[in-house]
Amino acid sequence: NSILFYIKTKYKKVSDDDANLIAKYLVKYGSEHDVDPKLTAALMARESAFNKEAVSSTGAKGLGQIKNFNFKTLQIEDPFDIQQNTYGTTKYMKYLMSSWQTNSEKVSLALASYFKGINAVKRQNGDLDPKTQGYVQDILKNYDEMSAKIGRAHV
């Protein structure tokens, strides 16, 4: 699959076993929540470089860099568990995308909300500051790279 190909060619520090699990669960939960798994993969690439043990300076954990206060809502007991973190990240993206459902920029606004918090983005009426714009563009670039590899890899 294109996600596995992307991880294995661009993130060589990720073990084959971890890459396989990440790709498997992104597809599984993407299908269950109706979220493009490549979008969630692109988000994880930006958030953690697919390092399941990643911890940010603000305490966000795992592949999707999820904060402790979100664990219960997202059904995460172990943020470093690939399956749980992938499930939680996908579920959170579904929530954010549905929050912006009526907006033509829903993907960008959902990604901005992942970064800044949905209330901060709503307070700014979707007018993103340069740092947030850069974050969103990084993820969309990852997404485009992943999508382009499909044609070349024929997977």
pLDDT in tens, 21-70: 999 999 999 999 999 999 999 999 999 999 999 999 999 999 999 999 99
pLDDT at 104: 82
**Positions of E strands within 30-139:** none
CB distance 11 to 50 below 8 Å? yes
- The DSSP string of 49-84 is TT-TT-B-TT--BTTTTB-GGGTTTTT-S-TT-HHH
Contacts of 77 (CB under 8 A, 6+ apart): 71, 84
pLDDT at 149: 60
Question: Can you give the pTM of this predicted structure?
Answer: 0.93
> Which 3 state secondary structure label does DSSP give 75?
coil
For the chain, give the mean pLDDT.
93
Contacts of 24 (CB under 8 A, 6+ apart): none
